Every structure is written in structure tokens, then in C-alpha cells.
Amino acid sequence: MYVINNYNILIHPSEGATERGVFMSTEFSVSLAKIIKEIALEPYFMPHSPEDIAITSMDIDRPGLELTGYLDFFDEKRIIIFGNTEYSYLEQFSAEKQYELINNLFSMKPPAIIIARDHEPTDAIKRSAEENSVPILLTSETTSATSASLITFLNAELAPRITRHGVLVEVYGEGVLLIGDSGVGKSETAIELIKRGHRLIADDAVEIRRVSNRTLVGSSPANIRHFIELRGIGIINARRIFGMGAVKLTEKIDMVINMEQWDAEKVYDRIGMDNTYTEIMGIRVPIMTIPVKPGRNLAIIIEVAAMNNRQKKMGYNAAQELLQSLGMDIDAESIQSKKVETGWDV
């Protein structure tokens, strides 16, 4: 089994990583070049190569008070966006006063300024940008649309993340994270699911990003993307063997399935009334344990689990309906919710 270390190098667990996963660096960055490409910006003035300019803040700045000279809480890591409001405010002043206001802002060395709505950079903006080496980018989009696109992109690229041992697949539109001890059959089950028309996101190392307070998104590290390790066969490329329709780059994590060897002494849940969950990066995710033993068709079981999880999200609980039909008055609020300790909680 291989995992990814902080330098995106494939290493074996015995060489310094662990099967449970590793924390990545706490601060992430994305190049300005990638932002330009992603939201279709036009470079107007670029003092340095956009590949060398790193953006580290998820937030952006629409300067209001900052243009009046109040910079006490200005964050120099944020990209600045100018639109109709900013231009309208600056037009009240003479050219020299405009330069003074702009230069106060640009002297804080923001990473870039985006000018929306096809506005032409004023002489004051161009002069101050050149003096302070602030890149100028243009777009024809509205200020709100540009802000929304940029925030969405930055939230995904700069989200806190961890890399964990497991397999992530998309089953009927549900992101299912398979965890369990090494050799329990996660990769083999993923192959069977792919054969049944579902899609692989990551095998062995799953990079999990917390993109919001309620959402986790999983992906594969770039250097092992689409590869699967099958004991006895070796490494295969799922995209090459099964086609492009068998893989996907990212997927929201909707549920976790813990695969473990069947223990005859253990009592497994046979009704499903209790809502069990685990916590990943502070976000609760539904989890269930599926015992593995010869003769069980795990792919079909996981398909049913994914569909059942979707039904629960839509407000339907089959176990609750059955008990009510048997004359047992089960209130939805009485269904227990408990946390399962899996060693995955972060």
C-alpha cells in the first residue's frame, strides 16, 4: 500500500507515513495563473510571471472604507475587485487625488486587482500598479459574478485538507468512502462497482477537503489518479481499462462504509434505526459497518446502502416505517444518533 507525503511523493508507510493518513500543510496556495485560466481573466499589467504569484487567502476585497484611507483592518493577502461603485467614487476627485487614494491601497501590496465590467484602468490605477508591482486583470463579467466565481474557486483550492487511507467511489450519485484494514477488499469491491457502472474517484489515498462548514469533497492525489492496486495482479489504470466513464476527478463525501472481517462474536445492526456517524475534520458523516466474509456480494450491498442513504436524506426511513406498521409508535425524534469511533475522527 502506498500513501502520499507532504511533498506529493509516493512513499511506502514504512518510509515515514501511516495507514491512517497524514495531515497536509496548514496553509495552501494557488497560482495567479491558475485563477486567470479558471475564471477567464485578461492580464492587463503583469509585473511578474503569474505562475510565481501565490494566492493564499480565500477571501476577496471590495474596497469601501479602504479607498477613503482607512486601512487598519486591510488584509494584504486578498485579491481586490473594482466595479461600478469604486469607479463612481473615484470619479469625484481630481487625477492627483485619485492617485493618492489608489496608492494608499496599492502600497499595501495586494496580490492582484481585478477590474470588472470592461472598465479601462485609469491613469491613477496604472501608475500606482506599476510603482507597487500590483498585477491588473480585466473581465467583462459583473462584479458580483466575478466575486462569486473567484470565491467558489478559492474555497475549493485553498480548503483545509487531509490525506487518508481508503477508497472513494460514486454510487448512484452518492459519494461513498470505503475504509477498513489493509487487505479487507476495498479495491476489489471498487473494481466490481466500476464494472456495474459506477465511478472511481480515488484508491488507497483519498485527499479530503473541507470546502464549507457542511461539505467534504474527496479527490485523488494527482500522481496516483485512476490507479488501483490489486493484490496478485498489481497496479492497473482504471481509466485505460474501463474507459473515461469509469472515473471522476472529485466527489462530495455523503457516507462512510467501514469494511471489517466478519466477527461471529460481534452483534451487527440488523434494523438500522440508529443514525450512526463519524466526524471528519469536524463534519458529521453517516457511517455504517459492513462485515466481510466469503460469499457476500459487497458491491450490491454498497449499492443498496447508497440508495438507502439517499432515502434517509430525503426523510424516509424503512426501519421506522416497518416498526410503525407493526404497531410500535416510533417518533422520528426518538431515533438515536450516536458517534462511532473508527480511528478516522479528526
Residue 163 sits at φ, ψ, to 5 deg, of -110, 125
Q: What CATH number is given to the structural domain containing 215?
A: 3.40.50.300
pLDDT for res 271: 72
Q: Are residues 180 and 151 in the same domain?
A: no
Report d(CA 95, CA 123) in Å as an integer.
Answer: 8
Indicate the number of domains in the chain: 2
pLDDT beyond 50 at 213: yes
Q: Are residues 169 and 147 in the same domain?
A: no
Residue at 262 is within a domain: yes
Report d(CA 123, CA 121) in Å as an integer.
Answer: 7
Q: Are residues 151 and 174 in the same domain?
A: no
Query: Please, which pLDDT band fits residue 330 given cuts at 50, 70 and 90?
Result: low
Q: Are residues 97 and 177 in the same domain?
A: no
Q: Are residues 178 and 322 in the same domain?
A: yes
Is the CB of residue 303 less than 8 Å from the CB of residue 189? no
Q: Which of 78, 198, 203, 204 is catalytic?
A: 204
Last residue of a domain, one of 137, 157, 177: 157
Q: Are residues 83 and 174 in the same domain?
A: no
pLDDT beyond 90 at 6: no
Query: Please, which pLDDT band fits residue 268 given cuts at 50, 70 and 90?
Result: confident
Q: Are residues 182 and 215 in the same domain?
A: yes
pLDDT beyond 80 at 3: no
Report d(CA 274, CA 261) in Å as an integer.
Answer: 22
Residue at 246 is within a domain: yes
pLDDT for res 132: 96
Residue at 6 is within a domain: no
Q: What is the DSSP letter of 323?
A: H
pLDDT for res 345: 52
pLDDT for res 98: 95
- Write the DSSP string, 194-215: HHTT-EEEEEEEEEEEE-SSS-
Is the CB of residue 114 less than 8 Å from the CB of residue 62? no
Query: Please, which pLDDT band fits residue 339 given cuts at 50, 70 and 90?
Result: low
Computed over its alpha carbons, how large is the radius of gyration of the chain?
A: 26
Q: Mean pLDDT throughout 67-71?
A: 90
pLDDT tens track for 282-300 = 999 999 999 998 888 999 9
Residue at 20 is within a domain: no
Last residue of a domain, one of 101, 122, 157: 157
pLDDT for res 76: 94
pLDDT for res 13: 37
Q: Which of 78, 161, 164, 186 is catalytic?
A: 186
pLDDT tens track for 25-66 = 467 899 999 999 999 999 999 999 999 999 999 999 999 899
pLDDT tens track for 234-262 = 999 999 999 999 999 999 999 999 999 98
Residue at 123 is within a domain: yes
Per the annotation, the verdict on 345 as an active-site residue is no
pLDDT for res 283: 93
Q: Are residues 138 and 232 in the same domain?
A: no
Last residue of a domain, one of 135, 157, 179: 157
Q: Are residues 140 and 227 in the same domain?
A: no
- Which range, of 132-141, 213-222, 312-321, averages the lowest pLDDT? 312-321
Q: What CATH number is given to the structural domain containing 142?
A: 3.40.1390.20
pLDDT beyond 60 at 118: yes
Domain that holds residue 322: 161-339
Amino acid (1-letter code) at residue 234: G
Residue at 15 is within a domain: no
Per the annotation, the verdict on 109 as an active-site residue is no
Residues facing residue 289 across a β-bridge: 258
Q: Are residues 197 and 108 in the same domain?
A: no
Residues facing residue 22 across a β-bridge: 163
Q: Are residues 148 and 174 in the same domain?
A: no
Instruction: Look at 41 and 333; give whichever has higher pLDDT.
Output: 41
Residue at 5 is within a domain: no
Is the CB of residue 244 less than 8 Å from the CB of residue 197? no
Instruction: Output the average pLDDT for the chain.
Output: 87
Q: Are residues 169 and 227 in the same domain?
A: yes
Per the annotation, the verdict on 270 as an active-site residue is yes
Per the annotation, the verdict on 123 as an active-site residue is no
Residue at 22 is within a domain: no
pLDDT beyond 80 at 275: no
